[in-house]
């Protein structure tokens, strides 16, 4: 029977290059762990400097300040009598590595560099770090660290920590997801406790993959798996969703919140039995290099009567709940760290802008709940945002009225229905709402054009050409952007209040794929909480909000003023499939056509229709790809996002005729149509 050990893992809301704040949060998590009797504390990846430093990792300052923070950790009385496992970048032999530093009582036990890098999607680790592929070397510590530890060198490399009562092995983030995960060889060599320090961002429907991988890591040979993750917005498009957890012998025994406004969430494991249900296979394997430490994670004496954690059922959020919570937490981090006083949203009454408004309302609900639960950090941040140290939020609608401004920017072409819907929704969530008519501004701009050219363009409904109609629509859309920023900067000033507002955008991921929005219109904003969410998911989310928040103004569903699906040439569900094939399956026009004729064989009866949809999509995509170079920074939520600035690195100037690719499709259409017709004839 194994001894019972006390360990702790945590989720920290770190901020890139905020060394002061990051250090405070690390120390607080260690203090909580010690107070609960933990003998080992695990933190998230690169927690000292923040994971999202990007090209700041090239700077010597980032390495220097990380070591300065490490020195303060070593010197702090809070870190004594507990093994602390922290993350930071380290230069070894003039090469940068993403490392874990394990220390105890002012002595560094080992430095474990990351061996398998995350280099896909939003991750670019190979740009800044090299993977470690050696065994164990000696690392010469900087003098500032030597002065504290009295050590000249420490072990650096692929090694495990051997205490008097157990053995601890380290994984770092992406190593868990690899088919060559280090926990496999460590488990074969008798390691009992596996740890994983991550900076894993949120995507809709992703949590189950992470949990299943962690459960499977201890299902075969047993043991304990501790998972730590960053949480919050550290300064970029992604949101790290926490979910610190502990698994034992294939069962989850502790779960941290996936979405939370707490800056520090430390999992109190109390006592956990470290016995293994299985034994390693009798196979040849390379033994792990063990670093011995004269320390125990278990208590002295008889622990048979001490309770242990029992298996629990993991609660997975629905996609609607994820949309409600993830972007809301991301918005709050962005607001409180930007120094602004709230948000402004052009609210049209459609699906997209209504979804954005509901996410802000959800943020206010979370804030009020956090204050009610006694979260002093949230209350302090609310005081700073609203500019009133005596204010205490009592109700989401009342808080919303202070930090959220909405405006309906109508014209002579707008409908009364959309205006009423926007007003009703604003009233129910509590935002400060304005009704702005833009006709005067549009006519002013057209007057300037007319004076210069002697021409006055018209909408198509008034006899104008296609080019005139497009220009008129663009003028209206871009006037809305200018007015949105004007009111964002001066609305509070006009009310006698300090501060400015962040402008929120509301373009969804599917419309970004085809460029079905005007460049520099009111979808151009400071940030966009729904830019990585599909139209289909947003419609489901609004139905969820009707019940969750009693927002009856959404009943029946917001409807767009124009039929966008007709202009796009496909439905939103079809566009979502195409988007996934383009990005996730890495399909060009021809391979996409080949896949879709099988995927859509039950709903599209003519092969030519599939060919037309594929060619239409790629024409629209390539014609409008340039818009993604200026797209508003958006919350990343799906793996087929077309975000050109980080996630989807592709050209923005294409040969929009796709001559070779489309000819390959056209050559196959007649033959495939005959095969398809024969197939249907045989069935029916």
* Location of structure tokens 């009693």: 550
Using CA atoms, how far apart are residues 36 and 219, in angstroms rounded to an integer? 28
CB atoms within 10 A of CB 8: 29
Do the Cβ atoms of 362 and 324 come closer than 8 Å? yes
* DSSP-derived pairing of the beta strands 95-104 and 107-113: antiparallel
Do the Cβ atoms of 341 and 381 come closer than 8 Å? no
CB atoms within 10 A of CB 308: 15
For residue 334, give both structure tokens.
């962005």
Maximum CA extent, the chain: 95
Do the Cβ atoms of 33 and 8 come closer than 8 Å? yes
- Compute CA 313 distance to the chain's CA centroid, rounded to the nearest angstrom: 24
Active site residues: 45, 114, 173, 348
Q: Let me know how long the chain is.
A: 684
Using CA atoms, how far apart are residues 224 and 287, in angstroms rounded to an integer? 19
For residue 529, give both structure tokens.
């909480």
Which of 231, 226, 227 is closest to 264 using CA atoms?
231
Angle of CA points 234, 236, 237, to nearest 5°: 125
Q: How far is CA 481 from CA 341, 477, 487, in A?
A: 19, 7, 10
Do the Cβ atoms of 88 and 46 come closer than 8 Å? yes
DSSP assignment of 391-431, as one string?
-----HHHHHHHHEEEEEEE-TT--HHHHHHHHHHHHHHT-
Q: Is 646 helix (H, G, I), strand (E, B) or coil?
A: coil
Q: Is 652 helix (H, G, I), strand (E, B) or coil?
A: coil
Phi, psi of 247 (to 5 degrees): -120, 145
Q: Is 606 helix (H, G, I), strand (E, B) or coil?
A: coil
CB atoms within 10 A of CB 620: 20
Residues forming beta bridges with residue 154, ordered by sequence position: 139
CB atoms within 10 A of CB 293: 18
Do the Cβ atoms of 573 and 536 come closer than 8 Å? yes
Residues forming beta bridges with residue 113, ordered by sequence position: 99
């Amino acid at each position: 029977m194994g001894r019972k050990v006390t360990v702790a893992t945590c989720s920290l809301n770190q901020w890139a290059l905020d060394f002061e704040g990051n250090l405070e949060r690390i120390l607080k998590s260690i203090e909580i762990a010690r107070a609960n009797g933990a003998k080992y504390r695990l933190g998230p990846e690169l927690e000292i400097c923040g994971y999202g430093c990007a090209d700041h990792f090239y700077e010597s300052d980032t390495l220097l300040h990380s070591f300065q923070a490490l020195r303060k950790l070593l010197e702090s009385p809070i870190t004594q009598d507990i093994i602390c496992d922290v993350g930071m970048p380290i230069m070894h032999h003039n090469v940068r590595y993403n490392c874990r530093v394990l220390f105890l009582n002012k002595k560094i036990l080992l430095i474990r560099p990351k061996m398998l890098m995350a280099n896909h999607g939003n991750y670019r680790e190979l740009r800044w770090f090299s993977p470690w592929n050696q065994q164990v070397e000696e690392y010469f510590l900087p003098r500032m660290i030597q002065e504290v530890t009295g050590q000249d060198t420490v072990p650096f490399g692929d090694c495990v920590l051997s205490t008097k009562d157990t053995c601890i092995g380290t994984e770092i983030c992406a190593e868990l997801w690899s088919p060559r995960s280090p926990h496999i060889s460590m488990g074969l060599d008798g390691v009992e406790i596996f740890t994983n320090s991550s900076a894993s961002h949120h995507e809709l429907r992703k949590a189950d993959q992470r949990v299943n991988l962690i459960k499977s890591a201890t299902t075969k040979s047993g043991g304990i798996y501790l998972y730590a993750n960053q949480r919050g917005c550290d300064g970029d498009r992604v949101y790290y969703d926490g979910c610190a957890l502990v698994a034992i012998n294939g069962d989850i025994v502790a779960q941290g919140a996936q979405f939370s406004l707490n800056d520090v969430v430390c999992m109190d494991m109390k006592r956990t039995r470290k016995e293994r249900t299985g034994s390693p296979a009798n196979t040849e394997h390379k033994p792990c290099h063990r670093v011995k430490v004269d320390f125990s994670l278990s208590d002295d004496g008889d622990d048979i009567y001490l309770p242990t954690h029992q298996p629990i059922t993991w609660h997975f959020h629905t996609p609607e709940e994820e949309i409600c919570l993830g972007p809301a937490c991301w918005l709050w981090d962005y607001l409180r760290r930007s120094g602004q006083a709230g948000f402004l949203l052009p609210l049209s009454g459609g699906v997209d802008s209504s979804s954005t408004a509901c996410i802000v309302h959800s943020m206010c609900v979370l804030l009020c709940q956090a204050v009610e639960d006694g979260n002093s950090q949230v209350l302090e941040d609310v005081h700073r945002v609203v500019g009133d140290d005596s204010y205490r939020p009592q109700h989401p609608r009342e808080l919303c009225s202070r930090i959220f401004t909405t405006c309906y920017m109508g014209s002579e072409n707008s409908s009364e229905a959309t205006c009423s819907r926007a007003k009703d929704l604003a009233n129910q969530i509590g935002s400060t709402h304005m009704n702005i008519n833009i006709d005067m501004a549009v006519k002013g701009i057209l007057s300037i054009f007319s004076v210069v050219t002697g021409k006055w363009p018209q909408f198509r409904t008034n006899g104008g050409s296609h080019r005139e109609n497009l220009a008129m629509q663009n003028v209206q859309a871009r006037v809305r952007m200018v007015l949105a920023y004007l009111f964002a900067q001066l609305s509070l000033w006009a009310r006698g209040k300090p501060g400015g507002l962040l402008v929120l955008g509301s373009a969804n991921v599917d419309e970004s794929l085809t460029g079905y929005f005007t460049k520099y219109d009111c979808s151009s904003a400071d940030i966009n909480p729904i830019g990585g969410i599909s139209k289909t998911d947003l419609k489901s989310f609004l139905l969820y909000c009707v019940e969750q928040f009693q927002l009856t103004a959404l009943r029946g569903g917001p409807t767009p003023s124009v039929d966008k699906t007709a202009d796009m040439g496909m439905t939103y569900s079809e566009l979502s499939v195409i988007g996934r094939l383009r990005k996730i399956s890495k399909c060009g026009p021809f391979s996409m056509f080949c896949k879709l004729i099988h995927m859509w064989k039950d709903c599209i009866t003519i092969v030519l229709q599939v060919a037309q949809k594929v060619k239409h999509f790629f024409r629209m995509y390539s014609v409008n790809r340039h818009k993604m170079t200026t797209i508003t920074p958006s919350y990343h939520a799906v793996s087929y996002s077309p975000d050109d600035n980080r996630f989807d690195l592709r050209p923005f100037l294409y040969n929009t005729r796709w001559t070779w690719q489309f000819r390959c499709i056209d050559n196959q259409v007649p033959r495939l149509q005959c095969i398809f017709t024969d197939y249907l004839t045989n069935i029916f």
